Amino acid sequence: MTLRNGLVLLVCLAASILESTLPFLFHLKAVRADLLLSVVLYLALNDEVVQGAALSLAAGYLSDLTSATPPFLYTFLAVLTFVVIRLAGSAFKTGGGPQSAAVAFAASLIHSSLAAVLFYFVAPGSEGLVLQFVPLFWSALGTAIAAPAVFSVLRRLDKALVPAEAATLVR
């Protein structure tokens, strides 16, 4: 594991802690930013496939740990999101904040809807699909607001580390 991957995992861990403490501290009912999803989006748009998919799996696993939903739901969805965004990646340009926010908003809506579909059909005690669009919308909005910050942190990390690691490999 490279230093860069280790640091990305640390960012995931920090994102997991922040996304579960901030809504509590600020009494946020619905506008909950999915920071780990933003990490997955960044990886899908900037990382190589094998490495990005493995890191997305780790991000999804952390998401599972904080959600108490059926295990591996978010792990699966994180890798799926990575694949879908990766395949559609050529259509997205996320150089600036607004673009990354727009991608995060759309991805969060789709990600949450898919989670709802899987959750309601497979989870015990569920009685079919009931999509709650209002919480999904607010969550997507929170994710869109936070995504540029997450992208910026990861971009800085890459700028600082990738040349150094490349130089190490050349030597």
Q: Is 35 left (phi over 0), alpha (psi -120 to 50) or beta?
A: alpha
Angle between helices 35-46 and 49-67 (to 10 degrees): 170
* Binding residues among 69-108 for other proteins as defined by CB under 8 A: 69-76, 79-80, 82-83
Look at the alpha carbons of 16, 133, 145, 49 in this order and tell me if their dihedral is positive or negative: positive
Q: How far is the CB of 61 from other proteins (least distance, A)?
A: 8
* Tokens, residue 98: 């607004």
Q: Which of 110, 138, 157, 161 binds other proteins (CB under 8 A)?
A: 138
Burial (CB < 10 A; 0-12, 13-18, 19+), residue 110, is middle
If one asks whether residue 34 binds other proteins (CB under 8 A), the answer comes out as: yes
Rounded CA gap, 131 and 145, in Å? 23
Do 146 and 159 form a contact (C-beta atoms < 8 A)?
A: no
Q: How far is the CB of 153 from other proteins (least distance, A)?
A: 17
Number of residues that bind other proteins (CB under 8 A): 61
Which of 115/164 has CB closer to other proteins?
115
Q: What residues between 52 and 71 interact with other proteins by CB under 8 A?
A: 53-54, 56-57, 60, 62-63, 65-71
Of 1, 24, 159, 170, which lies in the binding site for other proteins, with binding defined by CB under 8 A?
24
**Are residues 134 and 25 in contact, defined by beta-carbon separation less than 8 angstroms?**
no
Report if residue 163 touches other proteins, rule: CB under 8 A.
no
Minimum CB separation of residue 141 from other proteins in Å reads 11
Written as six digits, the tokens of 152 are: 């910026």
Binding site for other proteins (CB under 8 A): 13, 16-17, 19-21, 23-25, 27-30, 32-36, 49-50, 53-54, 56-57, 60, 62-63, 65-76, 79-80, 82-83, 112, 115-116, 118-120, 122-126, 130, 132, 134-136, 138-139
